[in-house]
Structure 1
């Protein structure tokens, strides 16, 4: 996919993210407070009325980007239906992410309206896993998927065969939930650094897109990476500290789904562990905190996650974002190197 098309999608999504936030925030706030006011208040101060539902803004931007990308992807091929594999793969992945976002929207609505605590975590995990299985199965019949995982350091490939269609959806689901934890633990906005997850998604997607361009990459994966970058960047107009709109569960599931779907389409599954270094670090710290507390009834960190630990040690949102941006940038650089390496290796 040409750089000019990517630049158009990126720029339009950024503008669209700002406009959609300005339009929808009053409506989302009414769900939370019961009051409707077009004036969203001071952008650089919180008043307690800040709603969730960031997934709506993100997914509307992504839908625009994917549709635009499919239209601009070799217009002649689109008209002659020769690009059905490209458009089919893109829309299958988009459909899966939309279903994940729908789960998050329901959870956000229940919690914002204070109707209950929402669905049990195990049920949500199982539903997310089934959606991921469905996406992988559908992609199998639309151009297929690479079922071998390339390892670094000339360790070669691990061929999973049919087992891949059960194992990778599990990997996707775990990755999606790590993104949720990276945003805020338990859906509590006071445990998150405003804008952290969106900034991580921008850097992750930039690394993925650059790596796909430098190596031998999938156009569908590159489209998803660019769309994720633009949508997350557009959200930051309202989600950066101090946030006027939170990601919520819908936004976290949307970003997690987009990031894992882009990796799935790329066929280079190991890069999630590299480009998603910030998400992995935060997720591992949360897991260790849970294990240590269960075993010894002691806290390993001051917060549930590493970013919450840093906040409770006196670091502000921007300092935390800066620290994790360095981790993300290092991981993105490693992902680019891995894509270049993968282009020189064949099964």
Structure 2
């Protein structure tokens, strides 16, 4: 538990105190946000606001994680002093997708246009990072044979639906495809949500907090210690809680400066990284389908884009005034702060419902 607390506090302080210094660096370099001409006119006042702030979130999360391990090592708690394969893989996924987003942001700024990497280039970068993560996640078994991920589709734990039904090689290939779908969907979902000041940051904070609780609970009820019929076969649950705590603290600190009126934007650097981290946590905690509920706001906003595109291509009519969904309400006259707070409430309800399902499954199974 000390490691979880240290990761959250260190990441919070870096996000809170490091962001202003990074903003000065970005302003000095002239790295400001490019605004789409076809977006809400109110956004034009945000042109030039420092972007690529996701770099601070990634750095704060990683530093918080290693600070937590250094603190436990210093206090002689050898059981949790060493970084684990699961934790390192999630951080790799977060940093790897953050790099893809950073390239996208940098191209936008350097070429002074709203389009960075082309869609195929961005998807290719995401896929490359996701494939490396997925392949490695099926390796590194612990003393009990548990690997960071499994080929079984999971909800709140692994289900009987195993992708390895056709053999180990086929199962690995199918898992890589499944992991790519999850990672791409989650990272792009957060990316689409990041359209208003503080919206994606606040929602991500809530989901990270949920994974702190999930990781701690799974650690307390892990099959390596709590030998009951409803224990969890998760390789490194407490270390995953440390990663989630780092992400939560980093987002909290960054939100101080990202809340309306935002002094800095996370950019694709942050949104892709946060989505990747959440997908990685879902895969390694064996809660792959539960993340759809925990991140319900991201799913809802992504669906609004899909519905808008499908409707326009099939009928020539738009369902929403503008997609993603938050911009629809902007064009209806809602104030930006009102939209953000109400969407945060919706995000919190999704997280509460997801955690309720997670706990209810354990209660029913333990009876």
Q: Where on the TM-score scale, by shorter chain, does this alignment land: which range?
A: 0.7 to 0.9
Matching of residues 1-347 of structure 1 within 5 Å: 2=1, 4-32=2-30, 48-73=47-72, 86-114=83-111, 117-143=115-141, 144=147, 145-151=149-155, 157-161=160-164, 162=171, 163-183=174-194, 192-215=195-218, 216=221, 218-343=237-362, 345=365
- Contact 2:72/2:78 (<8 A) preserved: no
How many residue pairs are counted as aligned between the two chains?
Answer: 322
Deviations 1:169-188 (A, max 9, x none): 222111111111111xxxxx
Shift in alpha-carbon separation, 1:78–1:112, aligned structure 2, 3 A: farther
Shift in alpha-carbon separation, 1:75–1:140, aligned structure 2, 3 A: farther
CA shift for structure 1 position 9: 2.3
CA shift for structure 1 position 150: 3.6
Structure 1 segments, 4+ long, off by >6 Å, are: 74-78
Distance 1:131 1:244 in 2: 30
Distance 1:172 1:340 in 2: 25
Number of the residue aligned with 2:41: none
TM-score by length of 2: 0.80
- Contact 2:6/2:67 (<8 A) preserved: no
- Contact 1:211/1:337 (<8 A) preserved: no
Shift in alpha-carbon separation, 1:281–1:109, aligned structure 2, 3 A: same
Greater mean alpha carbon deviation, residues 300-309 or residues 331-340: 331-340
The unaligned stretches of length 5 or more in structure 1 are 35-45, 184-191
- 1:157 alignment partner, SS class: strand
Distance 2:90 2:109 in 1: 28
CA shift for structure 1 position 156: 5.2
Deviations 1:51-95 (A, max 9, x none): 111111111101111112333456688869x876x5232122212
- 2:111 alignment partner, SS class: coil
Shift in alpha-carbon separation, 1:49–1:150, aligned structure 2, 3 A: closer
- 1:118 alignment partner, SS class: coil
- Contact 1:71/1:78 (<8 A) preserved: no
- 1:113 alignment partner, SS class: helix
Distance 2:9 2:78 in 1: 26
TM-score by length of 1: 0.84
- 1:298 alignment partner, SS class: coil
Distance 1:115 1:329 in 2: 36
> What RMSD over aligned residues (CA atoms) do the two structures have, in Å?
2.6
Deviations 1:127-186 (A, max 9, x none): 20221121121121123222222447x995322221223212222111111111111xxx
Distance 2:103 2:155 in 1: 38
Number of the residue aligned with 1:43: none
The unaligned stretches of length 5 or more in structure 2 are 33-44, 142-146, 165-170, 222-233
